[in-house]
Structure 1
């Protein structure tokens, strides 16, 4: 006697595979930051916060703010897998002789988080960006 194979498991497997094939890719960190306009707004918010942050604003007293803005936009765009290339100095070169300590580094990170939060950037996207920026700590903080 010949046995018939059930059709249901095959249809279920086909439906699962079809669902996987049509699922949209998750938005990139860059997209979750808001693309070019979002990155610019985050950097502008960060710079505005730095001005009022007595923990670190002295570090920026003699800084070309327009150049800093431009390089921060490039860097955040590049680090979030956006279509940018960072063209500035290395972190070690740009922070040499500034005597930045952990407290100042952490203050800037807090200000960046505040700027992203104010723009409605999801916490997961914030964490992905911060994870990409974290290795720069060793080139920025003076031992």
Structure 2
């Protein structure tokens, strides 16, 4: 990862700190034809999409994130405790990867991670853990 790519992630700290941001709006399910219904889905704020794109672009995600996490991750509160209590960059990367990839399996995961300050705390901890000259 290069400095400019990390710096780009840090630019999102203020976004995740902003209590007024609505990270997603849920589109309700509806009947599309007789007896066939669409499922509700999350329409994400454009800046959250930009953040996920920046995360994907900067090579921070770990392919072996489940091995690194083991059974360490559970609820959002447990994830926050791990984030706040670690200086292990690989663990922070694994937690970030977990939340980015879980969207494939559960709509709204990104919004939940943003609302519960998971993304914010990962960014703050990364910024704290990285050397000043990085």
Q: TM-score, normalised to structure 2's length?
A: 0.32
Higher normalized helix content (fraction of residues): 1
Higher normalized strand content (fraction of residues): 2
Q: TM-score, normalised to structure 1's length?
A: 0.30
Larger radius of gyration: 1
